[in-house]
A = this chain, B = another copy of it.
Amino acid sequence: MASRKEISTEGENKVGRRGPRGQRGEVADRILSAARGSFATHGYAGTRLRDVAVVAGVDPSLVSYYFADKTGLLAAALEPPAGMAATAAGAAATPIRRRGRALVEALLSQWENPATSEVFRSIILTAAHEPVAMERLRVVFETSLLAAVADNLDGEERDLRAGLVASQMIGLAMARFVWRVGALARLPSEEVARYVAPTVQRYLSGRL
Contact = CB atoms under 8 A, between A and B. Distances in A.
Interface stretch (A4-12, A41-49, A56-64, A77-85): A41-49
Contacts of A202: 198-199
Contact of A163 (B42, B160, B168, B182): B182
Interface stretch (A14-22, A26-34, A66-74, A171-179): A171-179
Contact of A171 (B40, B171, B198): B171
Nearest to A162: B182
A43 B39 CA distance: 11
A116 B183 CA distance: 28
One complex includes copies of this chain to the number of 2
Given A46-B46, A129-B125, A179-B138, A167 B163 contact: no
Contacts of A182: 141, 159-160, 162-163
Contact of A167 (B125, B141, B184, B194): B184
A184 to B, nearest CB: 3
A160 B175 contact: no
Contacts of A208: 194-195
Given A141-B182, A166-B171, A171-B172, 6 more contacts: A125-B128, A160-B187, A163-B181, A164-B196, A170-B170, A174-B174
A40 B134 contact: no
Contacts of A43: 41-43, 46
Contacts of A199: 168, 199, 202
